[in-house]
Chains A and B, each alone.
Chain A
Amino acid sequence: MRGRPQLYTSYAADQALLNTGTKRLSFALFGVVLLCLPLGFIPGFRWAADADWMLVLAEVAILFIAALGLNLLTGLAGQVSLGHAFFMGVGAYVAAILGSPEGPLWGLGLPIWVWLPAAGLVAAAIGVLIAPTSFRVRGLYLAIVTLGLVFIGEHLFRNLDFITGGSQSGRTFPPLEFKFWKEETPFIDFATDGDWFGVELTGQAKTYYLMLGLALIAGLVAKNIQRTRAGRAFQSIRDRDIAAEITGVDEFRYKTIAFALSSFFAGVAGALFASFVGRTIPEAFGLPLSVEVIAIVLIGGAGVVSGMGMGAAFVIVMPLIVRTITEWLTQVAKTGEGVFQKIADVLVSTGTFDPGLVSASAGSGPGLNVFQLNQVLYGLLIVGFIIFEPLGLYGIWLRVRNYWKGWPFTY
């Protein structure tokens, strides 16, 4: 079939992950851009090499991993779970017990290749314990059960203060570094600047590379599970559970596997998140974190691996944009003049007695603070996407792609 590269000539070519030339090219380009970002020479993306942006992108990668887990459970297997933050918390504290240096709180000082997999495995084991509830209750009721899980988890984390440090001070988590065992100096660390293969990199850039690599592995694993036997079993249970059973899918078994895998991703992401942040309090693993992951799944496109990347980027970057706009409006309200100053003054509250919709910093006036405004926006976006575009950002991308595929014809 020379000259017709768009035709598949074997089923193997059809089943390949990147099964068209366009996909291969765009994936390669995307990869090169991501790899070169920290070096700061890509025109139009120089700002991304900034240390703050490196951290933002690393956080996107971590939440991408967390969202992949929830996507497996909710997007593929159709089991609605609000408990993702709980499993992330379990992962984080398992990592802390195993990886943090010995001190007043529990910590064994083991290296990352012990605490990271262990965080996933322990979370997965707890996921297996929770799974049977999904066999008794479905849909919204399961959501309520898993919601309860978040509150039980938060209560436990708060009271097990010899592990978590309690709500007052929280605790430190194991640093991101590669050691063979418990020795003092790691052979790769992500805290200090240094050079890799002759390239001078900041600590943030190194962290970014680590998270990028882990996210790539996680994405590949999730995609492979999705396109093979187990993935189809999950989807069949989501779409029609009784027909799935009669077709030979063991519903109980596959729901359990879905919970275990989902919790594994959550545990790993939770451990990475805690280690990345460095120090955090038990409340960090509460309902808002669950909502954030759900927002990623629904905004990105439930059931679509690449959608999780788009969703994670969107959900992480949106608050930054909201904050920037609010700060800018505050500035305008204080020092601007004319009609713009009036509009800005109505929108933002600049002091304790100034009415407004939103205030730039928490507790500085009536109205919402930026964090609360973000929660409201998540809610609106989730509702909006479910009603107007159930496939999320991925669905929007599909429509754009299909429009340009046929351009200049309408179909």
Chain B
Amino acid sequence: MSRLLEVDRIRLSFKGVRAIDGVSFHVDEGELFAIIGPNGAGKTSIFNCLNQVYRPQEGDIRWKGESIMGLKPNKTAELGIARTFQNIALFPHMTVIENILTGRHVRMKQGWLAGAIWLGPAKKEELENRFKVEDIVDFLEIEQWRKHPVGMLPYGVQKRVELGRALAMDPELLLLDEPVAGMNLEETEDMARFILDIQDELGVSMILVEHDMGLVMDIADRVMVLDFGRKIADGRPAEVQRNPDVIKAYLGEEFEPAD
């Protein structure tokens, strides 16, 4: 397994607040890596650093050995880092098909001029990519909503469309920010199935941020635990679960009754 992503002691602060404090980790090809931690631990901030929406003040982020620090966010998308958001960030006025086609943006080439002419390269490219989009629609079982504006769709479906848009980018690394937050058991299990399928069939590496511990412990290969911007543990799910620091972060100090 070769190393895909390497995060080296990044530090991010907003004025006085240390959001991320010297966190290091790495993700290998084909791996499902989970980041957990209480609210405000800095999980989403790490995603924003990987996308270069936030610029860490210190440390380095390397993609296949090369630093991506200072790139524009859309360049990270071109490299192959795709992302879904904690609070769905679809394009609400566009249809499901259009949203997923927008995900194809980085893999398409024709500019506005070819588009304006339509006949020729633009038409050909639109059609080719439509086939790719239909594969994703098929994979995520959202056929019936194809032409609906996504703003009108139920929450669980929107989450799936968002996953579809990320998949359309042909990513090598998928950042999933709470993919099952607010979902019922059935929807959660559907999503878990999609995540495992993405790993097995498409071979995409993933970083999963999630509060649903059952899901994380079931499907993650490795888990990192954050608390107040610091890494307090990492390892296989079973090891992490037994780690006393982790138990302390989630449940608080053990109460010792005075005798």
Binding site for B on A (CB under 8 A): 11-12, 14-15, 221, 224-225, 227-233, 235-236, 238-240, 242-251, 257, 261, 303
Contacts and interface: CB of A to CB of B under 8 A. Distances in A.
A264 to B, nearest CB: 11
Contacts of A221: 116
B74 A250 contact: yes
A246 B122 contact: no
Contacts of B98: 232, 235
Q: By DSSP majority rule, is chain B's interface helix, strand, loop, or mixed?
A: helix
Given A15-B126, A221-B116, A242-B89, A247 B94 contact: no
Nearest to B97: A14
A235 B116 contact: no
15 contacts: A15-B123, A221-B116, A224-B115, A228-B114, A228-B116, A228-B122, A229-B110, A229-B112, A231-B115, A235-B102, A245-B74, A246-B76, A247-B106, A249-B74, A303-B93
Contacts of B134: 11
Interface stretch (B77-85, B202-210, B230-238, B243-251): B77-85
Given A228-B116, A235-B98, 15 more contacts: A14-B130, A224-B118, A224-B122, A227-B126, A230-B111, A232-B105, A235-B91, A235-B102, A239-B91, A240-B91, A243-B91, A244-B91, A245-B73, A246-B77, A247-B105
Contacts of B165: 247
A236 B102 CA distance: 8
B85 A243 contact: yes
Q: By DSSP majority rule, is chain A's interface helix, strand, loop, or mixed?
A: helix
Contacts of A225: 112, 115-116
Interface string B170-211: 000000000000000000000000000000000000000000
Interface residues of B, number: 42
B103 interface: yes
A305 to B, nearest CB: 13
A240 B73 CA distance: 14
A86 B114 CA distance: 28
Contacts of B27: none
A374 B110 CA distance: 43
A229 B108 contact: yes
Given A240-B89, A249-B74, A228 B126 contact: yes
A236 B98 CA distance: 10
Nearest to A16: B123
B77 A247 contact: yes
A229 B101 CA distance: 8
Interface in B94-145: 94, 98, 101-103, 105-106, 108, 110-112, 114-118, 122-123, 125-127, 130-131, 134
